Amino acid sequence: MEIGIDSFASAMYGDNNRLSPVEAMEQLLQRIEFADQVGLDVFGIGEHHKKEFLDSATTVILSAAAARTKQIRLTSAVSVLSAADPVRLYQSFATLDLISKGRAEIVVGRGSSIEAYPLFGFNLNDYDALFKEKLELLLQVRDTEFVTWSGKFRPALNNLPVYPRALQDKLPVWLGVGGSPESFVRAGSLGLPLMVAVIGGQTHRFRPLIDLYREAGKAAGYQPEDLKVGLHSPGYVSSTTESAITEYYPGYAELWTKLGKERGWPPVTKTSFDYLIDEKGVLVLGSPEQAAEKILRHSEALGGISRFTFQMDNAGLTHTQLMNAIELIGTKVKPLLQ
């Protein structure tokens, strides 16, 4: 199982959440570099267009990280494909693949935040149609140097070449999904690896959806080894479970309650938090031993996963705390899983 970190390049952490954007970006790059040094497999950068996050230009951050790392795979988490030009997205990640010498990946999705749609002139009523059409074009651009294609939301291409080409023969494209059954079936039908974002509730409830993915993939002629499942989940690792809870809960409650006001979620309470950190809850929080045990339980509940990524910079943690967690994940959690 691959283990990694996903980040939204949050500027909302540290003492009183008053870190400057320059400081936040430098510390993020330090964390990616350190994750590479301690043996983590993958680091992902999200895409948002909000004041709280610095990840609107994902490949720029990943390219800076590529110059400071040697082994770790670098991916989006996720790229909002519906609001992007698939040709430019491929070119950006193909360039990253060259810079990183074959370590680039893309996770594409429709986006759980909607600010990209009006910003780039797209209609939310076309939410799914945009994604479906653009995913088709992205995969064609990835697989074919000269592209002939036509659609509704972008000018047609008539036997036009797309450069540069990625170093990898087939640049990995994962499909990032939330809770829509259609998304799981789509990923299976296309034989794409699946990255499941579970941010609340209990992880095992996604098993029927993952079964749909595997059934759709099998029906489309893909082998089980083609149908990889990754899990993206909030979490945090400290030296003990008690210290993990003490360090993580205050910032998590504050920031997720604020986010809940935007999305209609109830405020975070200690009772609801305890539900999320119990045996079946989504949060992978605790000592290295407890975190490893929970990841294995999640994997068993979902019929086997091949990648797990922690989302940690959403709880007001300091750079030092995040660095310590990365060290524990690389030197303790990953060996325990292996």
pLDDT digits (tens, 9 = 90+) for 234-264: 999 999 999 999 999 998 998 888 877 877 8
Contact yes or no for 274/245 (Cβ under 8 A): no
* CA 141 – CA 129 distance, rounded (Å): 19
Region 181-198: mean pLDDT is 96
pLDDT digits (tens, 9 = 90+) for 104-119: 999 999 876 788 999 9
The domain spans of the chain are: 2-337
Contact yes or no for 55/130 (Cβ under 8 A): no
Q: Which residues pair with 44 in a beta bridge?
A: 6, 75
Lowest mean per-residue pLDDT among 71-75, 236-240, 265-269, 278-282:
265-269
Residue 101's pLDDT band (cuts 50, 70, 90): very high
Return the closest-CA partner of residue 36 out of 54, 62, 1.
62
Q: Which residues pair with 177 in a beta bridge?
A: 196
Alpha helix ranges (H) inside the chain: 21-37, 58-66, 86-99, 116-119, 127-143, 181-190, 207-219, 241-263, 270-276, 288-301, 319-328, 334-337
Lowest mean per-residue pLDDT among 19-33, 37-51, 107-121, 174-188:
107-121
CATH number for 2-337: choose from 3.10.580.10, 1.10.1040.10, 3.40.50.970, 3.20.20.30. 3.20.20.30
Q: Which residue has the higher pLDDT, 310 or 179?
A: 310
Q: Is the alpha carbon torsion for 242, 243, 246, 252 positive or negative? A: negative
Q: The whole model's pTM is what? A: 0.95
DSSP 67-96: TT-SS-EEEES-EEGGGS-HHHHHHHHHHH
What the block records as the tokens of 91 is 């070119």
Q: Indicate if the pLDDT at residue 16 is higher than 70.
A: no
Residue 12's pLDDT band (cuts 50, 70, 90): low
pLDDT digits (tens, 9 = 90+) for 145-183: 999 999 999 999 999 999 999 999 999 999 999 889 999
| Backbone φ and ψ of 306, nearest 5° | -110, -5
What letter would DSSP give residue 220?
A: T
